Structure 1
Amino acid sequence: MQLANAADQSLCLVLHSEFPKFVLYNVLVNDLGSRYKEWKRLILPFQETLSRFEIVGSCNGLLCVSDYELDDPVLIYNPLTWDYKLLPDKGGEHLKGKVYRCVFGFGFDPKTMVYKVIKIVHYAGSSSKVPDLNRKPDVYVVTLGSEEWTYKGQTHYQLTGSSSEAFVNGKFHWLTHCNFLEVGKCQDIISFDLSTEKFQELARPDFEGLMKHTCPLVTLKGVLSAVISYDDETHEIWKMRDYNVKESWSREFVIGKYIPKIFLTFGQFNSYPGRGRIDGYRKHKFQVICILSNGEILLLYENQALVSYTVETGKFTDLKIKGQRFEYLSTLHTGSIISVNAAFNMHG
């Protein structure tokens, strides 16, 4: 019952900052229009175990957190109740120096009533900074409460990012990594079904945006959406209204060019947040966070400036929040009192 009500009342942003040290903050989305809004620092009881970390998933009030550099260990953490629990170590070939990067997904499977984490391991080539494109990534899945990761074979998809960009219809979604030397080659949209544990290519629209990396996926009001950023700094939001029906893709919003006031006053803070490695793809010049209850669209520019956009009038409003960091990654999160131990004990 609490979780059902939390979707509106406890929706928040979790801010992940790496400077001067790894910390998490949060702010309620409903407070963004208040003059008293403030980033509140979260208590991190796991810091002795995991001092350098990143968020790779959020589901039902639980955060999935992984090691910033090695991707192991991985743990589940509830920032409201402060409890956390480690997932089993991967082991085997998943050793430092052999792994190029890992892609994660964390979600709840309503069919089997369990929480699962997927881990897709991309391997390194001649050095840790070069991917081995001749070796297919390995796929592992763990159900919270089980003793080990289950090997699900290999996939030929090279996926972008370090975590799933959108969770819709019980499925994770990613874009494939695009080799720009392949003329006419577009990024594909790939899903992974938590119940069947199978990958699938989704019908993608025919628009220029999928030719670029600046095309993140996002869930808006429960609908899979794609955000297209063009060179003139205008943006489009496309929605797939009927799941996996190509003809249902439609352009819903067009957002004009805007420079947040903080950039005009102080310029931009030019470090690289959200993974110090080149494979992170987490540095977005423009990011759509969510659609607010009043219909405004919440935007994040350069991982530094939160802005709300009113569709009807085309008005941009800069959101100043007390305690804001210079640069950060932002995760949409629903606060809940679900116990981490209870989530692990749901394993049948």
Structure 2
Amino acid sequence: MSIFNGANLPQELLINIFSRLPVKSIGQLRCVSNPLNSLLSDEHFLKTHFTNHFQEPEKIILLSNSHIFHTITFNKNCIFINSINFKQTPSDQFVEICGSCNGLVLILNKDGTKVVINPITLDFKIIPNSPLALEPYGSFSMHGFGYDYVNDDYKIVMISRYDHDNEVEPDILDMFMDIYSLKNGSWKRIKSSPYDHAVPEHANGVFVNGALHWLASKKPDYSSVIGAFVLSDEEFVEVPAPSSLDKDKFVFNKLVVLKGCLCMVDNVEGNRVDIWMMKDYGVEESWTKFCVDGIDFYDFLKPLCFMRDDEVVLNVDGEKLMVYNLEEEESRDLEVDGLPDSFESAGTFVESLVSPADPNLFGIEA
């Protein structure tokens, strides 16, 4: 392939070189020539690029109840913030991050519109509303977003139920499940969830190991469980929780992902939380615990990511970001110019070239 002034270089060598560059550099190189654009858009290149960058620090994305979102990048001792004006329709007002996977983020608009976006390339796809969705008035919904490695497809899962305190459909107790396939561009309804999701209302599914995870209550005794919805099988299985937790109460905790591991946040008392990390997925004995103490919060304290091995970034009540040093057991505000005074929702994502607008270029190796 002739790309540079007639010089012939093996394609594998070119892929090896270019796959080590950041996403923005790839975007610039695609404009150099048609052959280079073709190479840098090839599925094999996208997989190689993702693999080479998979271990890089996660970025934070913040929504501040407008059409502007903010991304925060950690680079050694430097912190960079980027504010992005993303107004595609007059009604754009982003209020919730529902999940992220392989560089794509699922964002919920104030009017209920769902958008899947790559925050680096700004490629996006507006998701049509499900024809089976319950009316917003008189119902509750929660979402999840992840990648089906078996069928090479990104999927949005929505669990909905009627609000039994009103008169819309007071006798229907089902937890309806609707799935949207980005590859097929369509919604479908499957059998209802076997669990009661009423307690952790509006909690988003946490994607780990090919499955979306929710804390739920198991019928008929309503004991707490971690329900893992496997995207390839579209079935729930159960993941063991830490054995020391009260099975009647841990449904009130929160699930997050840290360093690719499923974690559970347990508000023990006052301003202390225990964070359990499942280091070997599916193995009950692999749960380990670390504590965050001494931070005042009103509603919730949620770990977002590790800035360094001994420092975790925390979302405190959606009002500020803090850094907690696990070795020194001390906290400090995350100070960066341009950080909004408050935000509606916070999440993390990784840098990638995956585009939600091109279903033929989704494949990422597990």
Query: What TM-score comes out, normalization by structure 1 length?
Result: 0.78
Native 8 Å contact 1:209 1:215 kept in 2: no
> Does residue 1:342 correspond to 2:353, yes or no?
no
Q: Which residue of 1 aligns with 2:82?
A: 40
Paired with 1:39 and 1:209, the residues of 2 have a C-alpha distance of: 40
Which aligned pairs between 1:222-261 and structure 2 lie closer than 5 A?
222-251=260-289, 253-259=290-296
Paired with 1:4 and 1:296, the residues of 2 have a C-alpha distance of: 25
Which aligned pairs between 1:1-16 and structure 2 lie closer than 5 A?
1-9=48-56, 11-16=58-63
Which aligned pairs between 1:271-282 and structure 2 lie closer than 5 A?
none
Following superposition, the deviation at residue 297 of structure 1 comes to 1.7
Q: Which residue of 2 aligns with 1:332?
A: 348
Q: Secondary structure at the match of 1:313?
A: coil
Q: Which residue of 2 aligns with 1:64?
A: 106
Q: Which residue of 2 aligns with 1:116?
A: 155
Following superposition, the deviation at residue 75 of structure 1 comes to 2.5
> Does residue 1:104 correspond to 2:143, yes or no?
yes
Identical-residue share of aligned pairs (%): 23
2:212 equivalent among 146, 163, 172: 172
Instruction: Give every structure 1 segment of 4 or more consecutive aligned residues whose post-TM-superposition deviation is greater than 4 Å.
Output: 130-134, 344-347
2:226 equivalent among 174, 189, 209: 189
1:314 equivalent among 329, 353, 359: 329
Following superposition, the deviation at residue 245 of structure 1 comes to 3.1
Paired with 1:92 and 1:162, the residues of 2 have a C-alpha distance of: 19
Is there any run of 5+ residues in structure 2 with no aligned partner, and where? 1-47
Native 8 Å contact 1:122 1:131 kept in 2: no
Following superposition, the deviation at residue 322 of structure 1 comes to 1.2
Amino acid at match of 2:279: R
Paired with 1:146 and 1:320, the residues of 2 have a C-alpha distance of: 43
Aligned length: 312
Native 8 Å contact 2:253 2:264 kept in 1: yes
Paired with 1:284 and 1:333, the residues of 2 have a C-alpha distance of: 24
Is there any run of 5+ residues in structure 1 with no aligned partner, and where? 260-267, 269-282
Amino acid at match of 1:112: N
* Cα separation, partners in 2 of 1:131 and 1:294, compared to 1, 3 Å: farther
Which aligned pairs between 1:87-102 and structure 2 lie closer than 5 A?
87-92=127-132, 94-98=134-138, 100-102=139-141
Following superposition, the deviation at residue 171 of structure 1 comes to 0.7
Native 8 Å contact 2:162 2:172 kept in 1: no
Query: What TM-score comes out, normalization by structure 2 length?
Result: 0.74
Native 8 Å contact 1:46 1:84 kept in 2: no
Native 8 Å contact 2:153 2:183 kept in 1: no
* Cα separation, partners in 2 of 1:86 and 1:145, compared to 1, 3 Å: farther
Paired with 1:64 and 1:294, the residues of 2 have a C-alpha distance of: 27
Is the radius of gyration larger for structure 1 or structure 2?
2
Following superposition, the deviation at residue 93 of structure 1 comes to 5.2
1:202 equivalent among 239, 242, 245: 239
Native 8 Å contact 1:14 1:25 kept in 2: yes
Instruction: Calculate the aligned-residue CA RMSD, in Å.
Output: 3.1
* Cα separation, partners in 2 of 1:284 and 1:26, compared to 1, 3 Å: farther
Amino acid at match of 1:241: K
Native 8 Å contact 2:143 2:205 kept in 1: no
Native 8 Å contact 1:209 1:229 kept in 2: no
Paired with 2:240 and 2:351, the residues of 1 have a C-alpha distance of: 33
Following superposition, the deviation at residue 144 of structure 1 comes to 0.6
Q: Which residue of 1 aligns with 2:180?
A: 142
- Cα deviation, 1:243-270, whole Å, max 9, x if unaligned, reads 333333332x1222234xxxxxxxx9xx
* Cα separation, partners in 2 of 1:93 and 1:63, compared to 1, 3 Å: closer
Following superposition, the deviation at residue 227 of structure 1 comes to 1.5
Q: Which residue of 1 aligns with 2:310?
A: 295
* Cα separation, partners in 2 of 1:235 and 1:53, compared to 1, 3 Å: closer
Q: Which residue of 1 aligns with 2:41?
A: none
Amino acid at match of 2:287: W
Native 8 Å contact 2:239 2:282 kept in 1: yes
Q: Secondary structure at the match of 1:292?
A: strand
